[in-house]
Every structure is written in C-alpha cells, then in structure tokens.
C-alpha cells in the first residue's frame, strides 16, 4: 500500500518515495519482493529517525533498484519484536525474503550505504 506523504522542508514540500507497511502487508511488500527492500523501523517521536528520512529519500533516488519501506514501531510492535528491533532508527535490507544486513542508529549516507551493502553503482 503506497502513500504520498508530504513533509515540510526549507525547499518546499517533498513527496516521500517510501511505502508504509504493516503486519498485514509486510510479507507482500518485503518478503516476497523481487528486488532488495530497505525497511526503516521508526517512530514519529524519534529525532534521529526524522534526521534519517531525507537520507533514505536520497538513497531511494540514487538506488532505484531498491524498494524503500517504513514500519512505525509504535503501530506495529509485533514486526519490531519479530526482527528484534531494540533501538531506532533500525534500518534493514531484505534480499530474497531474508534479512541480509542492518544498521542501528542515525548514520550519514555513505556509512548507511556501506552498512547496508549498497556500495555498488546506483
């Protein structure tokens, strides 16, 4: 289930490329996806999560081969528990339905790409 979420910025309004997923849509959107999927486990109240959003948007633009999804841990605690999310932001990459890599905490773009194995050509 895709959504068009707009957030305010100094440059104006920017449309999010991320897909909000829930427990009901996680299997279809993430585990059964043919391409690699980045899952951003976040909460609305989390400052570092808000800082990470534009970095993920940039990754979505530069790495079009990767799907970007978001899971609100307050609304989907079962997913957070299933993937042992202990701190947020928690960003995971799923490949072929399996957890391939993860990064905990805010990271700049280059560190996030390296940690998630996205160093290859965009």
Cα distances from 91 to residues 13, 60, 85, 104, in angstroms, run 24, 13, 9, 6
In the three-class reduction of DSSP (H, G, I as helix; E, B as strand; rest coil), residue 61 is classed as helix
Q: At what angle do helices 47-62 and 109-116 cross, to 10 degrees?
A: 70
Residues belonging to the active site: 46, 49
Residue 86 burial (C-beta neighbours within 10 Å; 0-12, 13-18, 19+): exposed
């Amino acid at each position: 289930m895709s959504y068009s979420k707009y957030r305010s910025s100094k440059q104006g309004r920017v449309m999010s490329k991320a897909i909000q997923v829930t427990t009901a849509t996680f299997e279809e959107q993430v585990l059964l996806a043919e391409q690699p999927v980045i899952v951003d486990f976040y909460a609305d109240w989390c400052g570092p999560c808000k800082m990470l959003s534009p970095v993920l948007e940039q990754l979505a633009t530069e790495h079009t081969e990767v799907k970007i999804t978001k899971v609100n841990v307050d609304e989907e605690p079962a997913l957070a528990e299933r993937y042992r999310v202990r701190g947020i932001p928690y960003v995971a990459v799923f490949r072929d339905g399996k957890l391939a890599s993860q990064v905990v905490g805010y990271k700049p773009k280059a560190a996030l790409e390296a940690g998630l194995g996205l160093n290859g050509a965009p």
